[in-house]
Chain A
Amino acid sequence: EPEVTQTPSHQVTQMGQEVILRCVPISNHLYFYWYRQILGQKVEFLVSFYNNEISEKSEIFDDQFSVERPDGSNFTLKIRSTKLEDSAMYFCASRGDSFWVFGSGTQLSVL
């Protein structure tokens, strides 16, 4: 069964450093998303991406965040200058003509 792949599974970084989280969506899907889940809290929408541009973003997705689909297969989330409160599980999701499929997530720890 096709799946969404995320790397790395764990990322530890120092506050102020840049991180890039990577995702390989399902190959024939057209819509891509990033969500995050702070420990013990709900899964929150960050951004949706279609046709090489952002479709919608939440209030969380400020200027420190950016997304890119550099090569037609990878979908990345960049956090320019990480803060302690960015520590969370980040999930990538993709969607074709059916339902949203999620990856296993990247656990980001900002120290």
Chain B
Amino acid sequence: QKEVEQDPGPLSVPEGAIVSLNCTYSNSAFQYFMWYRQYSRKGPELLMYTYSSGNKEDGRFTAQVDKSSKYISLFIRDSQPSDSATYLCARGANFGNEKLTFGTGTRLTIIP
């Protein structure tokens, strides 16, 4: 069983729509759940992180974790063409030199 599973898409939505991106994970031992954004041929850039179950909001972005169902979501409100990128969910334990494990990424296109 893969540690982090993510629908690869691609996903295309019109500008202004609400976007929902989802991941599931298999191991309950991990404390941090992150969303990275990756533009074409660039490195992953941290977008949001959550430590516990519930919602975390930052501007147009909301990250949600449901530890009981091992489900991670990212919502983007009022989507913009500049949001077009690949979104990677990741999990990691915040101790020592633990590695980050990524999902496959969902390629998102916002259509003007």
CB-nearest residue of chain B relative to A33?
B99
CB-nearest residue of chain A relative to B8?
A42
Tell me how many residue pairs across A and B have CB atoms closer than 8 Å.
Answer: 54
| Chain A residues closer than 8 Å to B100, beta-carbon distance | 33, 45, 93, 100
Cβ–Cβ contact B97 & A48, under 8 A: yes
Cβ–Cβ contact B97 & A43, under 8 A: no
In the complex, how many angstroms separate the beta carbon of A80 from the nearest chain B beta carbon? 23
| Chain B residues closer than 8 Å to A4, beta-carbon distance | 43
In the complex, how many angstroms separate the beta carbon of A9 from the nearest chain B beta carbon? 9
In the complex, how many angstroms separate the beta carbon of B37 from the nearest chain A beta carbon? 11
How many residues of chain B get a CB closer than 8 Å to chain A's CBs? 23
Ranked nearest first, the 10 interchain pairs of A and B with the lowest CB-CB distance are A102-B43, A50-B97, A31-B97, A55-B97, A43-B102, A42-B104, A104-B43, A102-B44, A45-B99, A48-B97
Known pairs A33-B100, A102-B36. 9 more at Cβ < 8 A? A43-B102, A45-B101, A56-B99, A99-B34, A99-B46, A101-B46, A102-B45, A105-B42, A107-B41
